[in-house]
C-alpha cells in the first residue's frame, strides 16, 4: 500500500495516544490513509483553497487533505484526547494545519479561513445533519463555502440526493438540491471504520450553485416543504391546510392537483407554489 506521508500508521497513532473510540462522540475512525486520500480528492484540486474539517479525530482525513495538497486545513475537534496526535500532523505540514479545540456547533470558523473554502467531514450522524442544514440555510446565498464533502450513513446520503417520487425524497432532498448539485461520491462498507458501525456509509459531495435553481423565498419554501412532508401520506390539500386558507385554489393556480402527495411534487413545483403563496399573500410568512 502506497504511503501518503511519513507519519506513523493511524493504528499506531490511536494506540500511542490512547484514542479508544467513544460512542458518545460518534467515533468511528477511518484507518486506511489511501481511502482518506481518495475522499480528500472528491472536492477536486485544493491547492488554492482552504478546507474546514469538522471532527478530525486521530487525523486520517486531515492527513488525506494535506497530502492531497490543500492550502490550509482548519480542523475543529471536540475530543481533547486527539489534540497531541493532531499536533504531530501539524508539525509534519508546517503552517498548513490549524486545530481548534471545541464543539463545531459553537465555533465560528470564518475568521480563520480565506476563500475559496471547502468543507470536509466524517461526523457523527446527528451533528452532521444539523451542520448540513445550517450550511444549506445561510442568511445569504451563495454561502461561504464552495463545496461540502461529507460522510453520512448511506440512508441519509440517499435522502440528500433522492429524486422526486422515491421513498427517500423529502425535506433534505429539497433543501440540498434547491441550491446545490448533490451526488454520492463513494459508498463505504462498515469494515472501513474502527469500530465498524452497523450500517453502510456514503460520502456526499454538494457543490454550491451561484444562485438557487428556481426562485423562491427560503422561509416560504421551508415552511411549505416541512408541512408537506410532515404528513407525507396525506393529500396536499390536507397536509398544506395550515399554510393557506385557500390552499386548493393556490395549488390549482400553479397546476398542482390538490389530491397529489408531497413525494410526487418536484422541486420546481414546490418553488412555483412558494412564489404563488407569496404573491397571493405577501405577509403570510
Instruction: State which residue, 107 or 285, has the beta carbon closest to ligand SAM.
Output: 107
* Shortest CB 145 distance to ligand SAM, Å: 17
H or E, element range at 74 = strand 72-77
Q: Contact between 145 and ligand SAM (CB under 6 A)?
A: no
CB of 132 or CB of 236, closer to ligand SAM: 132
The dihedral through the CA atoms of 129, 130, 133, 134 has a sign that is: negative
- The reply on whether position 103 binds ligand SAM by CB under 6 A is yes
C-alpha cell at 54: 469538522
3-state secondary structure of 56: coil
**To the nearest whole angstrom, how small is the minimum distance from the Cβ of residue 133 to ligand SAM?**
14
Least distance from C-beta 49 to ligand SAM, angstroms? 19
Instruction: Candidates 26, 109, 143, 170: give the one binding ligand SAM (CB under 6 A).
Output: 26
Residue 251, interface with ligand SAM (CB under 6 A)? no
CA distance 37 to 176: 25
78 binds ligand SAM (CB under 6 A): yes
Regarding 40 and contact with ligand SAM (CB under 6 A), the answer is: no
60 binds ligand SAM (CB under 6 A): yes
**Residue with C-alpha cell 417520487?**
165
Is residue 30 involved in binding ligand SAM (CB under 6 A)? yes
Distances (CA, A) of 46 to 20, 62, 179, 184, 254: 31, 13, 22, 19, 43
Is 226 a residue that touches ligand SAM (CB under 6 A)?
A: no
Per CB under 6 A, 120 contacts ligand SAM = no
123 binds ligand SAM (CB under 6 A): yes
- For the purposes of burial, counting CB atoms within 10 Å of the CB of 48, is it exposed (0-12), middle (13-18) or buried (19 or more)? exposed
Q: Supply angle C-alpha 168, 129, 156, rounded to 5.
A: 30
Residue for cell digits 474502527?
Answer: 194
124 binds ligand SAM (CB under 6 A): yes
Q: What whole-number distance in Å separates Cα of residue 159 and Cα of residue 173? A: 6
Binding site for ligand SAM (CB under 6 A): 25-30, 54-57, 60-61, 76-79, 82, 103-105, 122-124, 127
Amino acid at each position: 500500500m502506497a504511503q501518503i506521508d511519513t507519519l506513523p500508521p493511524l493504528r499506531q497513532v490511536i494506540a500511542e495516544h490512547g484514542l479508544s473510540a467513544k460512542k458518545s462522540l460518534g467515533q468511528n475512525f477511518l484507518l486506511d490513509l489511501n481511502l482518506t486520500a481518495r475522499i480528500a480528492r472528491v472536492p477536486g484540486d485544493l491547492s488554492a483553497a482552504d478546507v474546514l474539517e469538522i471532527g478530525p479525530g486521530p487525523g486520517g482525513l486531515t492527513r488525506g487533505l494535506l497530502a492531497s495538497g490543500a492550502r490550509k486545513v482548519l480542523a475543529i475537534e471536540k475530543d481533547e484526547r486527539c489534540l497531541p496526535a493532531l499536533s504531530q500532523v501539524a508539525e509534519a505540514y508546517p503552517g498548513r494545519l490549524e486545530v481548534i479545540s471545541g464543539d463545531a456547533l459553537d465555533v465560528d470558523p470564518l475568521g480563520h479561513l480565506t476563500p475559496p473554502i471547502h468543507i470536509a467531514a466524517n461526523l457523527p450522524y446527528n451533528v452532521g445533519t444539523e451542520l448540513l442544514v445550517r450550511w444549506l440555510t445561510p442568511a445569504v446565498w451563495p454561502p461561504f463555502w464552495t463545496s461540502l464533502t461529507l460522510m453520512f450513513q448511506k440512508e441519509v446520503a440517499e435522502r440528500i440526493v433522492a429524486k422526486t417520487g422515491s421513498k427517500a425524497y423529502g425535506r433534505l432532498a429539497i433543501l440540498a438540491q434547491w441550491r446545490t448539485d448533490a451526488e454520492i461520491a463513494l459508498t463505504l462498507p462498515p469494515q472501513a471504520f474502527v469500530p465498524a458501525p452497523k450500517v453502510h456509509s456514503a460520502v456526499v459531495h454538494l457543490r454550491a450553485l451561484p444562485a438557487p435553481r428556481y426562485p423562491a423565498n427560503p422561509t416560504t419554501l421551508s415552511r411549505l416543504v416541512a408541512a408537506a412532508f410532515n404528513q407525507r401520506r396525506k393529500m396536499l390539500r390536507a397536509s398544506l391546510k395550515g399554510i393557506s386558507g385557500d390552499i386548493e385554489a393556490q395549488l390549482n393556480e400553479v397546476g398542482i392537483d390538490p389530491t397529489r402527495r408531497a413525494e410526487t411534487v418536484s422541486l420546481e413545483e414546490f418553488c412555483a407554489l412558494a412564489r404563488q403563496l407569496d404573491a397571493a399573500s405577501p405577509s403570510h410568512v
